Structure formats: structure tokens, C-alpha cells
């Protein structure tokens, strides 16, 4: 699949508000705090890393509307759909933390659901459901949205791994860690309830946890 580059004349995106008081679920590396943004470290993801016109990193924070979606978008993300034996090691769960954050103010997100993408003449399969090998091309769309629309503070879309739940990304130069309240955090290394929730989520798809 090829993904065309975004036009320099993108129409304004449809905006959805993440209202103050709305919780979001985040599963993240234990090296980061609950509301820490990723400063362009690690491998490419669908919409990160991106940089401004001067080459400066735009930190990012991924989250989801439900815990199940957060699990599928992170811990289960790289399991091939046709895998005969779908498993993840327990050590992967233990290397992660689960944090619940609550928005302290309204956040303006560009909606990337199928009807919204239609205005840009790009399909959901290309931008949201494409292979990880195309992440550098999908990230160009996040970069174009960020550069062209300074009022946009992040992106929201239908989770590719756990529809119809919402996945979202926040731009770290427009949203700060202080814009979230940390409701609570669980460490996969020492909180058995986190592992239990991952196991339960995996049962829906026949995904197991190996020792």
C-alpha cells in the first residue's frame, strides 16, 4: 500500500473536544512517569516522532478511551492477526505501567475517523490501519496537521486494534503534563491486578501470556 503525502493546502480538520474531567488510559514504559511525554525516543509509531519546522522534537503522549484499547494498542499491538500462536511474554507486561489520567481542561483534537478523513481524500485503511513499515509516511500527516493548524492540540481516531474505542495522541508543545491529573498508576512489575486485566483483555482475542 502506498500513502500519498499530505497536501500543503489541507482543509481544516473536524475538531473533537476531550472535555475537562474526562479520563484517559495510558500504558507506558516504566522509565516514564504517568503524565510524561515521549521526547522523540524509541522507534517510529503511527503519528510520532514529528518535529517542527526548525527540527525540534515535538514530544508526544499516546492514550486511549478505555483500558482494553490501551492494552491492544500497546502490549498486543505487534501480534500479527494471522499468528497461529498469539502470545506475549509476562516480562513485557512487567516492563509497563498503567496510568489513568484526567484532563484538567478542554483539549482540542483533530478527528481522524473515517468520515473526517474523507474531507482530505484519504481512507482509514491508509492512515489508521496501515503496516508499521509505513509509519514514517503516516507520521507526515500528523506533522502536517500540527504545522498547519496551531489550534490543534492532538489527534483522536478509532483504535485499529480495539474498535470502536478511541485512541489519541497529544502534542507536547501544546499540551503539558500539568494539563492532566494523575488519578492512579499501577506498576506491571509488582501489581498483580494489572497482569490480570491484561490476561482478561487477551482472552477476547485468544491472546495468552507466557512466563
Domain boundaries, the chain: 15-81+101-181
- The predicted model scores a pTM of 0.95
pLDDT in tens, 169-196: 999 999 999 999 999 999 999 999 999 9
Q: Take residue 38 and report the three cell numbers written for it.
A: 515521549
Residues 6 or more apart whose CB falls under 8 angstroms from that of 159 comprise 64, 69, 72, 73, 165, 166, 167
pLDDT in tens, 61-86: 999 999 999 999 999 998 887 777 89
Amino acid at each position: 500500500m502506498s500513502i500519498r503525502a499530505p497536501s500543503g493546502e489541507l482543509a481544516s480538520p473536524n475538531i473533537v473536544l476531550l472535555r475537562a474531567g474526562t479520563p484517559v488510559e495510558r500504558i507506558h514504559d516504566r522509565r516514564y512517569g504517568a503524565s510524561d511525554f515521549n521526547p522523540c525516543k524509541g522507534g517510529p509509531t503511527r503519528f510520532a516522532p514529528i518535529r517542527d519546522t526548525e527540527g525540534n522534537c515535538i514530544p508526544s503522549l499516546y492514550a486511549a478511551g478505555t483500558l482494553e484499547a490501551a492494552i491492544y494498542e500497546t502490549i498486543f499491538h505487534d501480534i500479527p492477526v494471522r499468528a497461529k500462536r498469539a502470545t506475549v511474554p509476562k516480562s513485557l507486561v512487567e516492563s509497563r505501567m498503567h496510568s489513568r489520567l484526567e484532563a484538567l481542561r478542554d483539549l482540542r483534537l483533530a478527528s481522524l475517523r473515517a468520515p473526517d478523513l474523507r474531507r482530505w481524500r484519504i481512507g482509514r485503511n491508509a492512515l489508521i490501519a496501515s503496516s508499521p513499515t509505513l509509519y514514517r509516511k503516516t507520521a507526515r500527516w500528523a506533522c502536517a496537521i500540527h504545522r498547519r493548524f496551531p489550534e490543534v492540540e492532538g489527534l483522536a481516531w478509532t483504535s485499529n486494534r480495539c474498535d470502536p474505542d478511541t485512541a489519541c495522541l497529544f502534542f507536547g508543545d501544546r499540551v503539558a503534563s500539568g494539563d492532566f491529573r494523575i488519578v492512579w498508576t499501577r506498576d506491571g512489575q509488582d501489581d498483580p491486578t494489572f497482569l490480570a486485566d491484561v490476561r482478561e483483555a487477551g482472552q477476547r482475542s485468544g491472546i495468552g501470556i507466557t512466563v
